[in-house]
Amino acid sequence: MSKVGVTLALGGIAKVYCVHDREKRQVRSPDDAFMLARMAGLLVDPHSKFQTCGCCENVFATPDDTPRLCERCSLHHIHALGGPLELPIEGVID
């Protein structure tokens, strides 16, 4: 007697955003930061210091070593801190 089974596999890519609506861990190294600046037509001082933002965890250039958040995360929150979403997204399993 043979057994027949079905294997179900789910796949996909999840994007995580900080409370300032910036995608987390998108810029992971100083090289990525230089490449994005070049693509945007911006100049980055080669003597810049690089830090990782404590909110969005992206690498960004600063003129000194003073700890700070990136420019976008220094602004006010777009999403509320903590807590669940007000309404579930259609099609998401609880």
Residue corresponding to tokens 């801190």:
81
- Residue 54 clears pLDDT 70, i.e. is over it: yes
pTM for the model? 0.66
pLDDT value of position 86: 60
19 pLDDT band, cuts 50/70/90, is: confident
CA dihedral 35, 37, 65, 59 (to 10 degrees): -60
User: What value, to the nearest 5°, has the Cα angle with vertex 64 and ends 22 and 66?
Assistant: 70
Q: For residues 57 and 75, which has the higher predicted lDDT (pLDDT)? A: 57
Share above pLDDT 90 across residues of the chain, in percent, rounded to a whole number: 22
Residue 61, phi then psi, degrees to nearest 5: -90, 140
Mean pLDDT for the chain overall = 81
